Amino acid sequence: MLWGTALLTGLVGLYVIVTQCPATCQLSQEDTETLMELHNSYRGQVVPSATYMRKVKWDEKLKILAEGYAVKCMWEPNPDLELLNMGENLFVSNEPLDLNMTMEKWFLEHLDYDYNNNSCQEDRMCGHYTQMVWADSHSVGCAAHRCDTIEGLSFEKVNFLVCNYYPKDKFKDEKPYEEGEWCSKCPDNVPQCDQNLCGKNSAPINHTTPPPPSSLHLIHSTLSLLCQTSSSPT
């Protein structure tokens, strides 16, 4: 009955995890949508305006990476991301995660950021903002975890949010985006301007695709039917 015991222990373990995990422990589908909407909404509001700002989409691989890091409960950058050219924003709270408030906090760092000389006020943080509005970053994946303790901070029982981005920002070397008229430099692969962001065409027109045979056949039969009909009064 060793197997049964192991199974039972496993189930109890799972139960403990599930019950100790509040709703904020994992991100729901709705949370995912909120995160995407907020990222894109803030990206489309930068001052000065951007000639090219990619619309971001949710990425499951980045989410899985974020999950793997969130469970480690460490308040420091994930060292594995550097080589992968992935960026990261972290947030920790001893209250239930409020994603709208969190995204607003990251965005509000723009108040300490100066676009003209691409610099942050001394002793302030701007890195969450610059990653959030990095023009080229097109994929985001986030995860949340409830941490009893978190390495590097003295708080206990915190909710930890990890967002990963691809590609990573290079804030120290470059401005997050180029200033100018919204969408004036959307590249060919993302030509469509939607709420100030460059995105893919929702319905790409494929000029090289001939109509499928079935509709050709339908046109032919309709035509022949019409011909037959018009020539019927004989």
H helices of 57-172, in order, are 60-70, 81-84, 99-108, 127-132
| Shortest distance, position 36 Cβ to ligand NAG, whole Å | 8
- Write the CB contacts of 229 (distance below 8 Å, at least 6 apart in sequence): none
Q: Which of 19, 189, 208, 229 binds ligand NAG (CB under 6 A)?
A: 208
**Which of the residues 79 through 98 are near ligand NAG (CB under 6 A)?**
none
Residue window 22-61: x/- pattern of binding to ligand NAG, with contact defined by CB under 6 A = ------------x--xx--x--------------------
∠ Cα 29 145 171 (to 5°):
85
Cα distances from 113 to residues 120, 135, 141, 181, in angstroms, run 5, 16, 25, 20
What SS3 state is found at 51? coil
Least distance to ligand NAG, CB of residue 204, Å: 6
* Interaction mask 187-206, ligand NAG, x per CB under 6 A: -----------------x-x
Report which DSSP code applies to 65. H
Among the listed residues 9, 94, 119, 201, the single contact to ligand NAG using CB under 6 A: 119
Q: Does position 100 bind ligand NAG by CB under 6 A? A: yes
Considering beta carbons, is residue 38 or 162 the nearer one to ligand NAG?
Answer: 38
